[in-house]
Structures are given as C-alpha cells and as structure tokens.
Structure 1
C-alpha cells in the first residue's frame, strides 16, 4: 500500500543544496505561473472595463493558465519536478515520492512565489486589485468543494500518468503540455462557479494581497483531498510498487 511508503525525512533536508535549489525552482515557477495567470485576468478586465467575468474572459483565463503552467512545469521539471502546486506536492507525498520535510520546503516556496507575484502585479499595474478567488452567486461552499476535489483529482491523476509513473516511457516528454491542458480544460468547466483554483498557492497569494478570505478554506481542503485520492488511486491500481523509493527530481 502507498501509505506504508510515506517518508517523513529529516529537518536536515532543508539545508541540503539540492533541496534548496528545488525550493528556489518552485518559487520561480510559481511566480511565473501566478504572474501570467492572475495578470491575464487583470489585463482582460482593464481592456474590457471590468469584463473578466464573461465567457470571453473565461476562455482567456483558460488559455493563459494553460500556457503559463506548461512553461512553469517545464522549466522546473529537471530541478524540483515542476510541481508548481502544493496539492501536487501532497499527492506525490501520499504516494511515497517525496518526503514530508521536502514537501514543507516546497509548500513554503510555492506560497511565497504566489505572494510575490501578486505584489509585483499590484505594484506594476499602479495598484490594481489582485482579485481573490470567490464563489459565484448560487454556489455554496460545499458545491465548490466538490468542484475543487474533482478538478484537482483530474490534475494530479494526469501528473501521475505523465510524470510520476515509471512506466510512462516517452509520454513523459509531453507531461507539461498535458498538465497545462487539464488545468485549462478544468477552468472552462469550473471557472464560472468557483474560479477553478485546483491550487492552494494560486488562491493564497491574491487572498493575502487583497486580504480577502471568504470561503478560502475551500481552496485548500478541496485540492488536498482531490490530490490525495488521485495519488492513492494511481499508486494502488497502476504502479503498486513494493517498498518506498523516492523518484529522483529528473523523473518528477
């Protein structure tokens, strides 16, 4: 069972050069992703006089996030594995592919990357608001929670199939594209309901900078639950390795 392969690791990991480099890579990848994704929404709202919450705005957000995540994952893949998402890191953790202490290091870097990206956006746009994720009218927190669980399950399942699975072969080459595509598709599906975060760090940065926390817990619990389920399902059904073996960063 994957749960038996969970590795806690050691606090000493935080001082290892490769772990520090991986954390820096996660910080930079997250900054790139959030700056482009959040910035595209701000730019669309400016060009359309507040029309980001329209079908065209949804399509623009989907494309921008898909492109930006493709790049962010690709540039970090050989250093940190290109997680660019605390939920993806958690999914790798429950599958036994990363230790708890290294995961914490990644989470800190990812959250800081998102905050810095939003601060840079606010400064470079002359003080425009970095809008926090929010539920649409008629959507309850529990509706949104299901959305986030299902969408993040699809994302992390895709990560496992294209990047983590040791049997992936040449399909691993298209992992960043597949990951970007599933996020873009999920935004088209869930963006009109809860913003389609699938990523606690992406939600955290705008919330901190705008200091808006309405239903913020949904954007943590949903992605972590969906990621955990995806990691366990893929490990149990399709990998089912014996014993813990952390994948090298060049593989994930």
Structure 2
C-alpha cells in the first residue's frame, strides 16, 4: 500500500484522517490472514517437534516419525488455513509469493513476523508440557550432521527448498487450475518425502521459521544462518525460474 505525503500543513491535516482510515481498512482486511499464519506455524512446529521428543526411557523416536508428523501437520494446516492466509507457514514461501506477485511486500513482512512468532510459541508450548528437558540434546533443532560443512548444508537446503518452491509455483500457476484437487495431500506427502531425503544431512528444514523456535528455546544457533539463506535463495531463484522460463516455454508449446 502506497501513501503520498502532502507538502503543506492544510493538506496534511485533511490527509491524516484518510490515511488513518486507509490503514485501519487494510488492517481490518488482513489481520485474519496474519493470525492464520501465526496459528498454523505454531501448530506446525508443535506437532512436528512432538514427534522428536524422546521416550520416557530416553530412547529416540523411530526416525520416520518426524517427517510424517511434519508432513501431516502441513496437510492439516493447508486444509484448515489455506483459504484464510494461503497457509505459507514459511518465510521463504512468503518471499516466493512476493516474487510471484500474489502477495504484497507489506503483507509479507507481517506474515514473516507472524510465522516467526508462531514458531517460538509452538516450541515454547512443547517445552512447557514436555516432562523431559529438550535443551541438552537440542531436540528438534536443525543442525548439519557431523562431517557436513555449512557450505554443503546450504546446498542441501537450497536443493530441498527448490522442490518445495517449484511445487508452490505449480499450484499458483493458473495453467494448473484444473489440477488443484488434493493440494493439501500433495504438500503433505512432498514435505514428508523431502524430510526423509534430507533429514540425515541437515534436518531438512526448508523453512526458516521452523528452525527459529527450536533454536531460540534450545540455544542452538550453530549454522542457523544456513536455514534462512538456503530456503530464501530457493524462494527467489526458483520462483523466477518458473515464472520467467518454465511458464514461458509452456505457453510457447
């Protein structure tokens, strides 16, 4: 939303109420979407990270639990919040939506703030009702595995996030309007599959907000920048690739 600032006092007096009304109108229209991002991201982190909590005897959960939990949490959130906010749950997806042209930069800022707050809230709830301390083992924190450098982890996160961004673009593409059935299922299974593929390299975050909450509560900031830079690079590069290269070829065909 763009406001033009008047240059004289009289105009400023008359414009201020109009500006205020415009801001209030914008907020009244968009607050539900921002709230949807806050709630959906908190549920994503809460339910996904619940599957990472060790058993009572300290044994680690079955490795496949977390990818399935995150995948099904995404499935649920898209079905429940997709019509409210788009159910991005991910700053990189919101950046991609700005590049695509379906989300304004101003609203994207509010989305990203809500997503980060939602992640912190979701993992905070988990630490509150979990009887075992989560901090010593950095439960649910995304970290490169031993032997994987930050540069290698960055490439892995870019690759995993690229698949997610291309899927988003394919869903946003009006050419695929007749293929929208089962979108929540598609995203849920893709997230689960990508998590299975990349979890033992980087934790398969693909989502800066998903990594933020556990990092904050566990104090595990090692290589945290990887989980912001990688997905956002993919959000920009592969959205541009799809928008200006892949769709152009399709139209030419």
TM-score normalised by the chain length of structure 1 = 0.84
**Aligned-residue RMSD, C-alpha:** 1.8
Match of 1:181 among 189, 206, 217: 189
* Greater C-alpha Rg: 2
Any unmatched runs of 5+ in structure 2? 4-22, 249-253
1:65 aligns with 2:70: yes
Report the counterpart of residue 89 of structure 1 in structure 2: 94
Report the counterpart of residue 216 of structure 1 in structure 2: 224
Q: Secondary structure at the match of 2:55?
A: helix
Cα deviations by residue, 1:112-144 (Å, 9 ceiling, x for unpaired): 110001110000113531442111111001111
Any unmatched runs of 5+ in structure 1? 1-8, 241-252
Cα deviations by residue, 1:144-166 (Å, 9 ceiling, x for unpaired): 1001101111001111112x111
C-alpha contact (below 8 Å) 2:52/2:60 kept by paired residues = no
CA–CA distance in structure 2, aligned partners of residues 135 and 148 of structure 1: 10
CA–CA distance in structure 1, aligned partners of residues 122 and 93 of structure 2: 20
Match of 1:29 among 23, 36, 40: 40
Report the counterpart of residue 16 of structure 2 in structure 1: none
CA–CA distance in structure 1, aligned partners of residues 113 and 38 of structure 2: 8
Higher relative contact order (CA 8 A, sep 6+): 1
1:111 aligns with 2:120: no
Q: Secondary structure at the match of 2:103?
A: coil
Matches within 5 A, 1:20-59: 20-42=31-53, 45-46=54-55, 49-52=58-61, 56-57=62-63, 59=64
C-alpha contact (below 8 Å) 2:39/2:118 kept by paired residues = yes
TM-score normalised by the chain length of structure 2 = 0.84
CA–CA distance in structure 2, aligned partners of residues 47 and 189 of structure 1: 28
